[in-house]
Amino acid sequence: MAAEIVNPPSDTGASQDDFFDPAFALHRGGKMAIQATVPVRDKDDLSLAYTPGVAKVCSAIAEHPELVHDYTWKSQVVAVVTDGSAVLGLGDIGPEASLPVMEGKAILFKQFGGVDAVPIALDCRGVDEIVETVVRLAPSFGGINLEDISAPRCFEIERRLQERVDIPVFHDDQHGTAVVTLAALRNAAKLTGRGLGELRAVISGAGAAGVAIAKILVSAGIGDVALADRKGLVSTDREDLNPAKREIAELTNRTGLTGSLESALAGADVFIGVSGGTVPEAAVASMAPGAFIFAMANPTPEIHPDVAHRYAAVVATGRSDYPNQINNVLAFPGIFAGALQVRASRITEGMKLAASQALADVIADELSPDKVIPSPFDPRVAPAVTAAVAAAARAEGVARR
The residues assigned a catalytic role are: 50, 105
Count of CB atoms within 10 A of residue 256's CB? Answer: 10
Q: Which of 307, 313, 396, 319 is nearest to 351 (CA)?
A: 396
> How far apart are the two ends of the chain, measured CA to CA in Å?
44
CB burial of residue 370 (10 Å; 0-12, 13-18, 19+): exposed
What residues contact residue 41 under an 8 Å CB cut-off, 6+ apart?
Answer: none
Nearest to 328 by CA among 191, 184, 134: 184
DSSP for 263-302, written as a single string = HHHTT-SEEEE-S-S---HHHHHTSPTTEEEEE--SSS-S
Distance CA 124, CA 270 (A): 38
CA Rg value for the chain: 22
Contact 112, 377 (CB under 8 A): no
Sheet order of strands, 169-171 included = 116-121, 77-82, 143-146, 169-171
